[in-house]
Structures are given as structure tokens and as C-alpha cells.
Amino acid sequence: MNWLSVAEVAKITRIPAPTARRYASLFRDFLPSRKVGRVMKYSEDAVRIFETISSLYQEGHVTGEIEDALKQEYSRSAELAPDQADIPAIGMGGDFANSFKEVMDKFGQCLQIIADQKTMIERQREDIQKLKTAFVLLSRSQKRLRQLPAPAPAALDTSVLEERTALLAKKDSELEEMALNLSFDTSDIKAKLQILESELIRLRKDRREMEKFFQSKIDRMREED
């Protein structure tokens, strides 16, 4: 099978190279691919999928609609490990290749889940930071209101003033409590994010080691054949 780089796919389909790279990133689950060295390459079957994606965008469809259309027309294609596509699925070699593919698929799914969780936590941390900023601004505004000149004695209604002062004091207390809780939430999210990053690094390392292990097994099997 002939494997093509993104640049070669772009040349065949006449899709601009930056656009083709964006399609490869957005719809990688539907594009049969394998890694050759450090370069991701795509099978000849993927050319038709690139052309379909381009046509759907030209018709005015958005990314979500295109993904739904691809789900109906094409099955999701897992990334193939280096040289995996060249292993004959005969006897022990075929079983070994299938097991290798299943392990790599599970690794890929785990990495994607962790990456999604990391993105979600980062967004939550940004939202909490925005809330904290809003509370600080609100607290400052209340302090400015309390510092305004008092009305003339004739127009002063002490009961109303006392009621508003008590209300402001209560709001200040609530704001301080909420700001404190947000600080705790931010610390907790930061700790979770650090754990996820460590887990992501560990899984990537395990995947590389697993690929090396399986590749050495495959090479020995080929030598025996």
C-alpha cells in the first residue's frame, strides 16, 4: 500500500496544504493513517475522505455536521503503528498484530480522555478566575459607595442608613466567603490538573515502550519466518 504525506494528499486533491493539515487534525479518527518515523502518513483510501470533507465544507456544512456525515459513511479508522500494516495476518503473526493494534487503540483512547479532561479543567479554572475578579470588583464598588459623603442631617433617615449599612456588611461577608471558597476550588483544580499531566506523561512513556516491545517481537517473528 502506498502511504501519502499531508503535502502529497494536498497536491492530489488540490486542497491547500494548511487546509489539508487542519482536516487531518479535525477528522483524524476517520482517516486511515500510520506514523513513519516522525511523519504521519495516510493511505490512498484517505484521499477520497479528504475530498469528501472539502466538498461538505464548500456546501456550507459546519464541522459537527461533517463529522456526523463521516460517521454514517465511513467507520472510524485507528492510527496504525509503524510497519503494522505490513504484517501478514496469518497464524501467530496475525494474532500478534491484532493484539498489538488493540493495545495501541486502548492507549490512544486513554490519552484522548486525559487530554479532554485536562482541557475541561483548564476551562473551569479560567471561569473561576473570572468569577474571583468579578467579586473583587464588586467588593471595591461597595467600599466606594460607603465612602460617599453622607447626606445633609435634615435629609438623613437613620433607619434606612442603618439597614443599608447592615446589608452591605452582610454582602461583604458573603463575598469574602465566596472568594475564599473559589480560592480553595482553584487550588483543588490545580492539583487535579497536575495529576492529569503526570498521568498523561506516564501513559505516553508507556505507549512508546510498548511500541518498542511489540516492534522487537515483530522483527524477531519476521526473522524466524
How would CATH label the architecture of 106-224? Orthogonal Bundle (1.10)
Assign 98 a pLDDT band (cuts: 50, 70, 90): low
Nearest CA-CA partner of 41 in 87, 1, 100, 98: 1
Chain centroid offset of residue 180 CA: 29
**Poorest-confidence range of 72-76, 92-96, 125-129?**
92-96
pLDDT the model gives residue 92: 39
pLDDT the model gives residue 86: 45
pLDDT the model gives residue 102: 65
* Every domain of the chain and the residues it spans: 3-80, 106-224
Instruction: Name the grid cell of 1.
Output: 500500500
DSSP 177-188: HHHHHHHHHHHH
Which pairs count as long-range contacts for 158-165, CB under 8 Å and 24+ apart, including other chains?
none
Name the fold adopted by 3-80.
Multidrug-efflux Transporter Regulator; Chain: A; Domain 2 (1.10.1660)
Same fold, 3-80 and 106-224: no
- The average pLDDT across 98-111 equals 65
Alpha helices in the chain (DSSP H): 6-13, 17-26, 45-58, 63-73, 91-146, 158-224
> Residue 129 contacts by C-beta under 8 Å, 6 or more apart in sequence?
186
- The average pLDDT across 65-86 equals 67
The answer on pLDDT for 39 being more than 80 is: yes
The answer on pLDDT for 119 being more than 50 is: yes
Considering the chain, what is the average pLDDT of its residues?
75
Assign 103 a pLDDT band (cuts: 50, 70, 90): low
Q: What is the pLDDT of residues 152-177, one digit of tens each?
A: 555 546 777 777 777 777 777 777 77
